[in-house]
């Protein structure tokens, strides 16, 4: 029997887990069981494969042997090096995603991107002006866009002394980064330097390695991710509040279901545009379908949800189960967080698994490469393919569980400020009055080591109950949505102060702010609030959490949050526990440097206690009631 009740919080997931078992389809949970117990050395972070004098393992043996790798590196150096490379991987993912937006905007400027356009010209001019583009208000749109493209590309290189968007951070924070050697200079530069420093025989000091890891993470948050967010808004529109729905129930028995999966809006927006074309809708009807239904998975789902209100089928651990419904006609993927197992699972059904990026190829998938110049044509082709797949669907194997749950989305900073009358002051008044005691961004993933979404939902509920407003991004969105937390009615689950504010504004106590690159929106908001109060981010009553994180990207987010002065909770530790020095810095030592550190706690109620304690302490320092 499958212990599906211990695996996930959700009815839709449990039903699909039972169906998968009946159909002999293994999932991540089954493979997790096979992989457990995991390698202890790797868990502790004390394995090194950075050269072929090794691989080496560091053991804490009584006879004193195996304390050093062949080169002489000890556990502290090895753990710090591994963690540094882990962060570099995450920063590379978000930032290379950001680069794809620059390339798309560049293709629009050059007239080589049919179907793409600048949907938010006002934002283009505003951002260009902010980043120093001359006469951004008055010159022709495409000239301004061309200059913005140059500014953004330059952030990836080696000729800057600091990233362009860093001016959004409070002055005190920027000075602190400068003193600590944490100022990110170039995005690719910091990532490459992390790889250099961790080659055998370079940076062998854990504190120095961690400092550069923080700089690399900051290059992600205030660089690659922020470019990704802002250029996506310029190209596809700045999100404004809107309604949608979530869970596997958004799949339709009577429609061609196209699931977009991955991260970048560049492909998923064009798939949506194709699915909205009358000719393809007619083709779907000719094939016997009532409609073309585009729904999202993971972060590209968040992108479409935020800007277009497209329903969300599921988060990370729902991706396999979405295929098990038997109703997914096509999965269209770009890159990141796409389990290789999806190819095998899709092959058990009529589902077409389509990859679109040269950076994300999967053996056995249908590869239709999408670039800005051919996206319109290729995405039409992909939608056509989904329609064909629909005709091969086996109705006997279709099982769409549960009814969709309504959600509210679209809380960009622009939307939040507009709702507040253009200034963060009313929000700060509510904070000063203690109605909102603070803010916590709950971000990130699912991990089969944790009952799916129990941490994400458990923590969110616990915090809003304590009048702490929650900002949700990434895969937490689906979790919060399924729990009903993304509706204004959830104000009834909040404490009296937060509840009153939410009711007055008509907003939920958990605000959906976007995908994982959109955590940059939260950084920007923190910068705005700190400037408004004349303090540093490390003085604000804020926190961050990733209760069920799994990825390198999530670790990079956690580290840039901490380095920006935001105390950050993790539901499970990174693989650093083999070094007391590195662990000590992560959970304590960083406090003395950047005014924030990590907390690791599996229990959501205890995690809420920890985050609340930081918020109380910061409120008191600001002279506010606890
Ligand atoms: Ni974020 Fe988004 Fe989800 Fe985790 Fe993966 S999709 S970038 S890494 S699993 S939240
Ligand atoms: Fe071993 Fe040192 Fe080589 Fe790592 S770098 S594999 S610790 S010899």
Q: What's the rounded mean pLDDT across residues 397-426?
A: 96
Q: What is the pLDDT of residue 382?
A: 98
Q: What is the DSSP string of 491-558?
A: GGGS-HHHHHHHHHHT--SEEEEESSTTHHHHHHHHHHHHHHHTS-GGGSSEEEEETT--SHHHHHHH
Q: What is the mean pLDDT of the chain?
A: 97
Q: Cα(398)–Cα(254) distance, rounded to whole angstroms?
A: 11
Element (H, E) at 312: strand 312-314
Question: 1-5, 95-99, 541-545: which range is least confident on average?
Answer: 1-5
Asked if residue 613 has pLDDT above 60, the reply is: yes
DSSP 36: P
Asked if 299 and 228 count as a contact pair (C-beta separation under 8 A), the reply is: no
Q: What's the rounded mean pLDDT across residues 572-578?
A: 98
368 lines ligand 2 (CB under 6 A): no
Predicted TM-score (pTM) of the model is 0.98
- Any residues with CB less than 8 A from the CB of 7 and at least 6 apart, and which? 13, 14, 17, 29, 448, 451, 452
Cα 39 to averaged position of ligand 2 atoms, centre (Å): 18
Q: Cα(373)–Cα(112) distance, rounded to whole angstroms?
A: 5
At residue 186's C-alpha, the angle toward residues 181 and 187, to 5°, is 105
Q: What is the pLDDT of residue 1?
A: 44
Residue of 446, 471, 474 best suited for mutating to test ligand 1, as the one with most atoms within 8 Å of CB? 474
Q: What is the pLDDT of residue 373?
A: 98
Ligand 1 pocket, Cβ-based, cut-off 6 angstroms: 263, 298-299, 315-316, 337, 444-445, 474-475, 516, 551, 553-554
pLDDT digits (tens, 9 = 90+) for 17-40: 999 999 999 999 999 999 999 999
Reported ipTM: 0.96
Q: Cα(101)–Cα(265) distance, rounded to whole angstroms?
A: 9
CA neighbor of 124 nearest in space, from 114, 110, 111, 139 = 139
Q: Cα(90)–Cα(555) distance, rounded to whole angstroms?
A: 7
Q: What is the pLDDT of residue 2?
A: 52
Q: Which atom of ligand 2 is nearest to the CA of 51?
A: 3
Q: Cα(231)–Cα(225) distance, rounded to whole angstroms?
A: 10
Q: What's the rounded mean pLDDT across residues 401-425?
A: 96
Binned at pLDDT 50, 70 and 90, residue 5 comes out as confident
At residue 250's C-alpha, the angle toward residues 247 and 254, to 5°, is 150
Q: What is the pLDDT of residue 60?
A: 85
Enter the tokens of residue 428.
């700060």
Q: Cα(401)–Cα(414) distance, rounded to whole angstroms?
A: 36
Q: Cα(5)–Cα(481) distance, rounded to whole angstroms?
A: 20
CA neighbor of 449 nearest in space, from 374, 547, 534 = 547
Element (H, E) at 440: strand 438-442
Cα 204 to averaged position of ligand 2 atoms, centre (Å): 12
Cα 74 to averaged position of ligand 2 atoms, centre (Å): 10
pLDDT digits (tens, 9 = 90+) for 224-250: 999 999 999 999 999 999 999 999 999
501 lines ligand 2 (CB under 6 A): no
Strand order in the sheet with 542-546: 510-514, 468-473, 438-442, 542-546, 568-570, 598-600
Cα 578 to averaged position of ligand 2 atoms, centre (Å): 16
Cα 81 to averaged position of ligand 2 atoms, centre (Å): 11
Neighbour tally for 366: CB within 10 Å? 17
Q: Cα(165)–Cα(48) distance, rounded to whole angstroms?
A: 35
Q: Cα(192)–Cα(195) distance, rounded to whole angstroms?
A: 5
Q: What's the rounded mean pLDDT across residues 281-301?
A: 98
SS3 of 243-308: EEEECHHHCCCCEEEEEEECCCHHHHHHHHHHHCCHHHHHHHHHCCCCEEEEEEEHHHHHHHHHHH
Asked if 412 and 233 count as a contact pair (C-beta separation under 8 A), the reply is: yes
Residue of 298, 360, 453, 557 best suited for mutating to test ligand 1, as the one with most atoms within 8 Å of CB? 298
Q: What's the rounded mean pLDDT across residues 412-429?
A: 95
Please tell me the residue having the least CA distance from ligand 1 atom 6: 298
Asked if residue 128 has pLDDT above 90, the reply is: yes
Q: What is the pLDDT of residue 112?
A: 97
pLDDT digits (tens, 9 = 90+) for 309-346: 999 999 999 999 999 999 999 999 999 999 999 999 99
Q: What is the pLDDT of residue 4?
A: 78
73 lines ligand 2 (CB under 6 A): yes
Alpha helices in 331-475 (DSSP H): 341-347, 375-391, 413-419, 425-432, 454-465
Q: What's the rounded mean pLDDT across residues 482-492?
A: 98
DSSP-based three-state secondary structure for 568 = strand
Please tell me the residue having the least CA distance from ligand 2 atom 7: 69
- Any residues with CB less than 8 A from the CB of 122 and at least 6 apart, and which? none
Q: Which atom of ligand 2 is nearest to the CA of 69?
A: 7
Q: Cα(173)–Cα(228) distance, rounded to whole angstroms?
A: 23
- The Cα-based distances of 409 to 99, 275, 472 in angstroms read 26, 22, 10
Asked if residue 485 has pLDDT above 70, the reply is: yes
Q: What is the pLDDT of residue 528?
A: 97
Q: Which residues pair with 308 in a beta bridge?
A: none
The 10 Å CB-count burial string (b at 16+, else e) for 206-217 is beebbbbbbbbb
The 10 Å CB-count burial string (b at 16+, else e) for 282-312 is ebbeeeebeebbbbbbbbbbbbbbbbbbbbb
75 lines ligand 2 (CB under 6 A): no
Q: What is the pLDDT of residue 325?
A: 98
Q: Please list the helix, strand and coil fractions of the chain in percent, rounded to the nearest 5, in that order.
A: 55, 10, 35
């Amino acid at each position: 029997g499958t212990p599906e009740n211990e695996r996930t919080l959700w009815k839709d997931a449990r039903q699909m887990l039972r169906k998968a078992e009946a159909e002999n389809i293994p999932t991540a949970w089954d493979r997790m069981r096979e992989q457990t117990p995991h390698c202890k050395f790797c868990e502790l972070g004390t394995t090194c494969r950075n050269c072929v004098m090794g691989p080496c393992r560091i053991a804490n043996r009584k006879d004193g042997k195996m304390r050093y790798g062949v080169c002489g590196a000890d556990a502290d150096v090895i753990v710090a090096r591994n963690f540094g490379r882990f962060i570099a991987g995450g920063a590379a993912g978000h930032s290379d995603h950001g680069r794809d937006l620059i390339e798309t905007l560049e293709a629009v400027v050059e007239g080589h991107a049919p179907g793409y356009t600048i949907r938010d010209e006002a934002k283009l001019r505003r951002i260009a002006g902010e980043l120093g583009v001359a006469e951004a208000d008055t010159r022709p749109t495409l000239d301004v866009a061309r200059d913005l493209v140059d500014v953004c590309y330059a952030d990836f290189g080696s000729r800057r002394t600091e990233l362009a968007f860093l001016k959004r951070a409070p002055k005190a924070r920027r000075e602190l980064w400068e003193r600590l050697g944490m100022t990110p200079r170039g995005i690719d530069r910091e990532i490459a330097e992390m790889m250099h420093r961790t080659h055998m025989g370079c940076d062998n000091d854990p504190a120095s390695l961690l400092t550069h890891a923080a700089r690399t993470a900051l290059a992600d948050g205030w660089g690659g991710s922020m470019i990704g967010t802002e250029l996506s808004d310029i190209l596809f529109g700045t999100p404004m509040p809107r309604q949608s729905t979530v869970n596997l129930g958004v799949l339709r028995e009577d429609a061609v279901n196209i699931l977009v999966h991955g991260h970048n809006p560049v492909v998923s927006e064009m798939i949506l545009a194709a699915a909205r074309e009358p000719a393809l809708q007619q083709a779907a009807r000719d094939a016997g379908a009532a409609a073309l239904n585009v729904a999202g998975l993971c972060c590209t789902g968040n992108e479409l949800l935020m800007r277009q209100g497209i329903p969300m089928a599921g988060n990370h651990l729902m991706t396999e189960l979405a295929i098990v419904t038997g109703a997914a006609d096509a999965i269209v993927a770009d890159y990141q967080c796409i389990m290789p197992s999806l190819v095998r699972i899709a092959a058990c059904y009529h589902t077409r698994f389509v990859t679109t990026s040269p950076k994300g190829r999967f053996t056995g998938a249908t590869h239709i490469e999408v670039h800005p110049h051919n996206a319109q044509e290729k995405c039409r082709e992909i939608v056509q393919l989904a329609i064909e797949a629909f005709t091969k669907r086996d109705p006997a194997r279709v099982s769409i569980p549960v009814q969709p749950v309504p959600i509210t989305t679209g809380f960009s900073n622009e939307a939040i400020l507009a709702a507040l009358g253009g200034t963060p002051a009313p929000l700060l008044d509510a904070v000063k009055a203690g109605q909102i005691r603070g803010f916590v961004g709950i971000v990130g993933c699912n991990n089969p080591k944790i009952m799916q979404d129990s941490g994400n939902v458990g923590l969110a509920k616990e915090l809003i109950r304590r009048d702490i407003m929650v900002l949700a991004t990434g895969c937490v969105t689906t979790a919060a949505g399924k729990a009903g937390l993304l509706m204004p009615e959830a104000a009834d689950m909040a404490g009296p102060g937060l509840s009153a504010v939410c009711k007055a504004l008509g907003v939920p106590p958990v605000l959906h702010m976007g995908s994982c690159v959109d955590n940059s929106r939260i950084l920007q908001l923190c910068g705005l609030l700190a400037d408004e109060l004349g303090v540093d981010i490390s003085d604000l009553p804020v926190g961050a959490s990733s209760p069920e994180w799994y990825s390198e990207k999530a670790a990079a987010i956690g580290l840039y949050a901490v380095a920006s002065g935001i105390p950050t909770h993790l539901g499970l530790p990174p693989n650093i526990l083999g070094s007391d020095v590195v662990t000590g810095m992560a959970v304590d030592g960083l406090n003395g440097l950047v005014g924030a550190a990590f907390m690791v706690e599996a229990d959501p109620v205890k995690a809420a206690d920890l985050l609340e304690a930081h918020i109380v302490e910061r409120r008191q320092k600001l002279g506010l009631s606890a």
